[in-house]
Amino acid sequence: MWSGAAFTVQIRPDGGLGLADRGTHDDVPPELVALAAAMGRAELARCTFHWRVPLSGRLCRVVLEARSEHGFDHVVLSGEPVDELPARLSPRELEVLTMLVVGLSNAEIARDLGITQRTAATHVNHLMLKLDAPTRTAAATYALDTGLICVPLPGPAAHYAHLSVGRLVAATDAPVTRRPRVPAPRRELVVGAALPLSGRGSDDGREMVNGLRLAIEEINAAGGVRGRRIRAVVRDVEVSSGASVETAFGSLIRDGVDVLTSGYLAAQEIGHELAAASGIPYLHAATSGAMERMVSGDPARFGRVFQVCASDTGYAPRFVEFLTALRDSGEWVAPSHRLAVVVKHWHGVDFGIGRARVDAEAQGWELDVVPVTGTDDGWTRAIATAVREPAAAVMIGSFFVDDAAAAVTALRALGSTALPYGIYAPSVPAFRHCLGPLADGVVWATTTGTYSDAVGHGFARRYRDRFGVVPGRSHAGLAYDRMQRVARAWASCGDLSDGEGVAAHLRAEPYRGVNGTYNFDTPSQTALGIDDHGDPSLAQPQLVYQIQDGRQVIVGGGPFRTGSFRVPGYLACR
């Protein structure tokens, strides 16, 4: 059955559902998924028609477009509910018009629809008048140009064999085969990592590489995994480029790595698709609700894909929750009842703004969202718009250091009384190095942060001794934990090349690392996140930090707090 909602979703050749740009997977009828999956077998680039829902008779206008983007072949399937057909055609007239397209006579139409020839002629005359078509051929041409063709096709399928939609319907019965991956025997265990070594995000990429390297060195020094050493193969990836993602993943897969890893990627679905097709277990850190839905929507295909941090959908609600708690406790006097979220679009990211709006209204806030547009001074202009009316706090919706630094700089330059609240980016040491004293007082949140306990301090000390610098508070520890977790899964598998066995162990056992507890026993195989009142032995809280006198202090995170919020000095004196 169809929910009646509009939808736009990617469909793979095997019928699996990918990213949904509109609606949800539940809104997509399986009959249309089967047709979309057959586009390649029918050798079609585009097909449009009107689908008539069984039993209810409701109509849905369908557009299918075959695409190949960066090695990811798929079909974009879109459906729109149709309340009224063009020219006020009736559903029966749509069927008759479909039959005119293939040149059927009134007698043939009557026979196939089980109506009289006179009734068939009446339908033909009426639809020609409505379409202002002087001939049957003109009506048929209009139908082909506008997609006014009815599916299921009325009458025998053989009538429509020369039409694209007829070939599509016929192709739905063709079988789909998948080539299994045959792993090559090897003594070493190889971890493939697609990380930003240059370009945007490279400051963070170095943290990820160092965390991975430290974990491998420690594991190998202890004897490796059942006597087998671990080696890393790292490929540079431009995080904003789908082509770069395809190149990096393709290279790692061809190298025959035993596990794939990555940080955050704009074209994250390409990494998912390539990993799934290879059968290699894949652990990424995209903090993406869209990727969660992708995995939970097709567990058979993506059963070896894991997200090692909780979803981004909790960021904006946590922003509202934290500011509300500060206000209500008296730790901070809000200069207005307005909160602003300044967001730079990043493919597949959803900060949970819809839920945050509801939460804000319930707590007496007004929440505004300001998009960042342009490249040169986009953040400066967006921040100026956000604080044109007084704002109590501004959430800076970007994972990148340069974006967050530009936003904080703009707030200070404008003399705004709004409290800056970052997302993840201040975890990277380059943020404080870039801003210097301007970073002091900035509040920021992360779905995965390194704890300030004995385990976290021990990791930070070993990292500093090895690399000569203090690690950031997120991805260095995350990369270290991810490698340790994979090694634990390898050690528990009878066959180290058994990707499904590795995935099963990852799902089955929570793991306590320097960034908290990783629990992948969720429908989307995403590390479980909790609020401040949940059980930290089973999941990770979203930590809130504040930069105080150049130090990172955890001011929100249940039992992992290391200090209290301070009103920034430049605001306290106002």
Q: What percent of the chain has pLDDT over 70?
A: 95
* 496-523 confidence digits (pLDDT tens): 778 888 999 999 989 999 999 999 999 9
Per DSSP bridges, beta strands 150-151 and 259-262 are: unpaired
Residues 275, 279, 285, 290, CA torsion sign? positive
Domains of the chain are 86-147 (1.10.10.10), 189-311+454-530 (3.40.50.2300), 313-446+542-572 (3.40.50.2300)
Alpha helices for 6-116 (secondary structure H): 30-37, 39-42, 91-101, 106-113
Per DSSP (E only), the strands in 23-71 are 46-52, 59-69
Task: Give the model's pLDDT for residue 174.
Answer: 54
Task: Give the model's pLDDT for residue 345.
Answer: 81
* 374-386 confidence digits (pLDDT tens): 777 899 999 999 9
pTM confidence score: 0.72
Q: How many CA atoms lie within 13 A of 185 on its CB side?
A: 0
Highest mean pLDDT among 33-42, 62-71, 486-495: 33-42
Neighbour-count burial for 248-267, b at 16+ CB within 10 Å, e otherwise: bbeebbeebbbbbbbbbbbb
Q: How confident is the model at residue 26 (pLDDT cuts 50, 70, 90)?
A: confident
Confirm if 52 and 150 have CB atoms less than 8 A apart: yes
Per DSSP bridges, beta strands 7-11 and 17-22 are: antiparallel
C-beta neighbour count of 319 within 10 angstroms: 28
Q: What is the DSSP letter of 340?
A: E
Type of residue found at 561: R
Three-class secondary structure assignment of 181-238 = CCCCCCCCEEEEEEECCCCCCHHHHHHHHHHHHHHHHHHHHCCCECCECEEEEEEECC
Task: Give the model's pLDDT for residue 181.
Answer: 46
Q: Which of 447, 446, 366, 370 is nearest to 407 (CA)?
A: 370
Per DSSP bridges, beta strands 338-343 and 305-307 are: unpaired
Q: Which of 482, 484, 502 is nearest to 494 (CA)?
A: 502
* 307-325 confidence digits (pLDDT tens): 999 888 999 999 999 999 9
C-beta neighbour count of 377 within 10 angstroms: 11
Q: Is the pLDDT of residue 359 over 90?
A: yes
Looking at residues 60-73, what average pLDDT do you find? 83
Per DSSP bridges, beta strands 543-548 and 443-446 are: antiparallel
Look at 33-42, 178-187, 285-294, 400-409 and tell me which has the smallest mean pLDDT.
178-187
Burial class of 77 by CB neighbour count within 10 A (0 to 12, 13 to 18, 19+): buried
d(CA 403, CA 240): 14
Q: How confident is the model at residue 182 (pLDDT cuts 50, 70, 90)?
A: very low
Task: Give the model's pLDDT for residue 344.
Answer: 87
Task: Give the model's pLDDT for residue 77.
Answer: 96
Q: Is the pLDDT of residue 70 over 80?
A: no
Looking at residues 115-128, what average pLDDT do you find? 95
Collapsing DSSP to helix, strand or coil, 261 comes out as strand
Distances (CA, A) of 523 to 59, 87, 93, 520, 532: 33, 46, 45, 9, 22
Q: Is the pLDDT of residue 177 over 50?
A: no
Residues 6+ apart with CB under 8 A from 139: 97, 100, 127, 128, 131, 133
Tokens coding 545? 């930090």
Confirm if 39 and 15 have CB atoms less than 8 A apart: no
Task: Give the model's pLDDT for residue 47.
Answer: 95
* 520-574 confidence digits (pLDDT tens): 999 999 999 887 667 878 888 999 999 999 999 999 988 899 999 999 988 865 5
d(CA 55, CA 13): 28
